Amino acid sequence: METRIEEYTVGELAKAARISVRTLHHYDAIGLLKPAHVAANGYRLYRRAEAERLQEILFYRATGMDLAQIALVLDGGDDRLDRLQAHRAKLDADAKSLAEMIQTLDRSIAVIKGDPPMALEDLYKPFAPETQADYEAWLVQTYGPTMVDEIAKAKEHLANADMEDRIDQLRQIETGLVQAYQEGQARPDALLDAHRDWVSEMWGNACPPAAYGGLAELYRNHPDFLARYEALAPGFSRWLPDAMEAYVAGLT
Amino acid sequence: METRIEEYTVGELAKAARISVRTLHHYDAIGLLKPAHVAANGYRLYRRAEAERLQEILFYRATGMDLAQIALVLDGGDDRLDRLQAHRAKLDADAKSLAEMIQTLDRSIAVIKGDPPMALEDLYKPFAPETQADYEAWLVQTYGPTMVDEIAKAKEHLANADMEDRIDQLRQIETGLVQAYQEGQARPDALLDAHRDWVSEMWGNACPPAAYGGLAELYRNHPDFLARYEALAPGFSRWLPDAMEAYVAGLT
DNA sequence: ATCGGGCCTCACGTGGCGTGAGGGTCAAGC
DNA sequence: GCTTGACCCTCACGCCACGTGAGGCCCGAT
């Protein structure tokens, strides 16, 4: 009873690792995992070294790494750590955009369900809790802390009764903008003037073009605004920031 | 001066929507967005209705929805809400698996950096904070609250000095298992007997086969365990749960 | 000799486009 | 009226990680 060297066929290895035979063929084809040798009949034969390498491959695959990167991590030189951290950064970015998608979708679902689409009052009085943080971060980064303080002061001047009036004004401006969008107007500059004035008053009588452009960016990316403007008319949430930026560009 | 009906060519629409012409061709090809009509020269011509539909498409695309689903959401009947919620559920699942990937990868990076790979003491004394929650949730779901209480009681009997001894024992068992793995042993039953005994004592002298199998599942999925066992030997983190389950299956 | 279950090599399909190749169309300037 | 350059068109292959046959060889058991 002679002891053969321990070797696995594709089927055996695939079963042990709970993957498909095709996957092993694929890894062979792209050079990621070659069999220890190929028998005369063409059969691929793997040994323990290959089985271990396969497990490593699957471990990294389970973290979402693509096969080319896995090959580099396993065979590359000293920069394993760099590559892993690069991958880690990518996962972070993915997680971030996923979180944004979820928020946007949630708002949309709420709107369709008939829940009030995040009342204007909440968006602007002064700003919703989550919105507030993003918004202030952006303000500070762009204009420094002074601006934020000024806005805070300006807001205190607005009594509640005033606020309702102002919200009504904004609603009218927005209705006009939606009409402009639906009629296909290219440059609703008069309405945007009014909008910028409105924002300006909210910000303590200052809204330089760059700030208005920044606000466009905020509208484009923030789930609360996105869902609210999308609810006004399909496509409006994407049109408005574009129009705002075109308007800013036109302010010579 | 006759007023032509407002129409956009592919290039104009693409530029306005900040997408590529190819994308419009693609949407036409799959029937997601057809031009209002095609001119005699073969040019695609879009009107405002199509422009709005495009904006809707892009809005949903930005939430990660695939084109077939978008078509259903836009053209389908009353089940818009269902489809949106189904998509929402998928995003949740994605987010969950992404979070697991990130944790696993983080542990691995920490190990490579030379940080202690999450000390055994922390994993088992009694359990790390995060691990604890998952673990208890699983225990409760599987065995009911009684079991959890019993384990808590059993743990109190273990003084700190005892604990160090026990950790040493576990380390020896694990070293043996790693050897078994690297030598390609198919059924390291004796070692797994020892391991189950060890676990059993931790759990107040009870570790039925099903519970041991459940532990295998925990090892297979939990980032802390994954990274720790992967650190012992490449591939070991995947081999061990398999071996544990085979062992359980063999307990007739 | 036959049968069932491996193993092999093509080779196309998936999704959402990118990126040419090769060729018609249109407004403007000469 | 002719050229130029910026549009437009239709194929058609490439990407990534395999799934899923199709068609055929190999091997041990009956």
Q: What is the rounded CA–CA span in Å between residue B158 and residue B172?
A: 19
CB contact under 8 A, B184 and A48: yes
pLDDT at A2: 41
Output Rg (C-alpha) for chain A, integer angstroms.
Answer: 29
Closest residue in chain B to residue A60, using alpha carbons only: B105
CB contact under 8 A, B59 and A87: no
**B86 in contact with chain A, both atoms CB, cutoff 8 A:** no
CB contact under 8 A, B62 and A234: no
Residue linked to tokens 């920490």: B110
DSSP chain B: ---PPP-B-HHHHHHHHT--HHHHHHHHHTTSS--SEE-TTS-EEB-HHHHHHHHHHHHHHTTT--HHHHHHHHHS-TTHHHHHHHHHHHHHHHHHHHHHHHHHHHHHHHHHHTS-SS-HHHHHSS--HHHHHHHHHHHHHHH-HHHHHHHHHHHHH--HHHHHHHHHHHHHHHHHHHHHHHTT-S--HHHHHHHHHHHHHHTTS---HHHHHHHHHHHHH-HHHHHHHHHHSTTHHHHHHHHHHHHHHT--
The residue among A60, A4, A1 whose CA lies nearest residue A27 is A60
Query: Closest nucleotide (CA of B41 to C1')?
Result: C25
**A180 in contact with chain B, both atoms CB, cutoff 8 A:** no
Strand partners, A38: A44
Question: Which residues, 6 or more positions from A193, have their beta carbon under 8 angstroms from its beta carbon?
Answer: none
**A62 in contact with chain B, both atoms CB, cutoff 8 A:** yes
Establish whether the CB of A12 is closer than 7 Å to any nucleic acid atom in strand C.
Answer: yes
Share of chain B above pLDDT 70, in %: 75
User: What residues of chain A lie within 8 A of the CB of B226, using their CB?
Assistant: 59
- Looking at per-residue pLDDT, the higher value among B188 and B139 belongs to B188
Query: Closest nucleotide (CA of B24 to C1')?
Result: C17
Q: What is the rounded CA–CA span in Å between residue A192 and residue A182?
A: 15
CB contact under 8 A, A48 and B87: no
Query: Closest nucleotide (CA of B69 to C1')?
Result: C15
User: What residues of chain B lie within 8 A of the CB of A56, using their CB?
Assistant: 234-235
Establish whether the CB of A180 is closer than 7 Å to any nucleic acid atom in strand C.
Answer: no
Establish whether the CB of A68 is closer than 7 Å to any nucleic acid atom in strand D.
Answer: yes
pLDDT per position as a tens digit, A79-123: 888 999 999 999 999 999 999 899 888 888 877 776 654 455 555
Residue linked to tokens 């997680």: A95
Question: Which 3-state string (H, E, C) describes A130-165?
Answer: HHHHHHHHHHHHHHCHHHHHHHHHHHHHCCHHHHHH
**B91 in contact with chain A, both atoms CB, cutoff 8 A:** yes
Report ipTM for this prediction: 0.71
A237 three-class SS: helix
Establish whether the CB of A77 is closer than 7 Å to any nucleic acid atom in strand C.
Answer: no
pLDDT at A222: 75
User: What residues of chain A lie within 8 A of the CB of B51, using their CB?
Assistant: 184, 235
pLDDT at B128: 45
Establish whether the CB of A115 is closer than 7 Å to any nucleic acid atom in strand D.
Answer: no
Q: What is the rounded CA–CA span in Å between residue A191 and residue A199?
A: 12
CATH number for the domain running over A10-75: 1.10.1660.10
How far is the CA of B171 from the CAs of B70, B124, B192, in angstroms?
54, 12, 13
Number of neighbours of residue B127 by Cβ within 10 angstroms: 18
Tell me which of A185, A238, A239, A240 to substitute to probe the interface with B (most B C-beta atoms closer than 10 Å): A238
CA of A193 to C1' of D5 (A): 39
Position A76 confidence tier, pLDDT thresholds 50, 70, 90: confident
pLDDT at B236 exceeding the cut of 90: no
CB contact under 8 A, A238 and B85: no
CB contact under 8 A, A237 and B59: yes
Establish whether the CB of A40 is closer than 7 Å to any nucleic acid atom in strand C.
Answer: no
Q: What is the rounded CA–CA span in Å between residue B247 and residue B239?
A: 12
Strand (E) or helix (H) holding A181? helix A160-182
DSSP B189-212: HHHHHHHHHHHHHHTTS---HHHH
Chain A closest CA to B116's CA: distance in Å? 16
Provide the token pair at A70.
């896995």
pLDDT at A128 exceeding the cut of 50: no
pLDDT per position as a tens digit, A149-184: 655 565 666 655 566 777 788 888 888 888 888 777
Q: What is the rounded CA–CA span in Å between residue A54 and residue A17?
A: 8
Chain B closest CA to A48's CA: distance in Å? 7
pLDDT at B156: 61
The residue among B219, B104, B142, B86 whose CA lies nearest residue A109 is B86
Establish whether the CB of A10 is closer than 7 Å to any nucleic acid atom in strand C.
Answer: yes
The dihedral formed by the CA atoms of B213, B214, B215 and B219, expressed in degrees to the nearest 10: 100
A46 three-class SS: strand
Provide the token pair at A251.
């302010």
CB contact under 8 A, B55 and A92: no
Q: What is the rounded CA–CA span in Å between residue A48 and residue B198?
A: 29
DSSP A57-99: HHHHHTTT--HHHHHHHHHS-TTHHHHHHHHHHHHHHHHHHHH
pLDDT per position as a tens digit, B83-119: 999 999 999 999 999 998 998 888 888 777 766 544 5
Q: Where are the domains of chain B?
A: 10-75, 94-249
Burial B197-224 (b: 16+ CB within 10 A, else e): ebbbbbbbeebeeebbbbbbebbbebbb
Mean pLDDT (chain A, rounded): 80
Q: What is the rounded CA–CA span in Å between residue A66 and residue B192?
A: 34
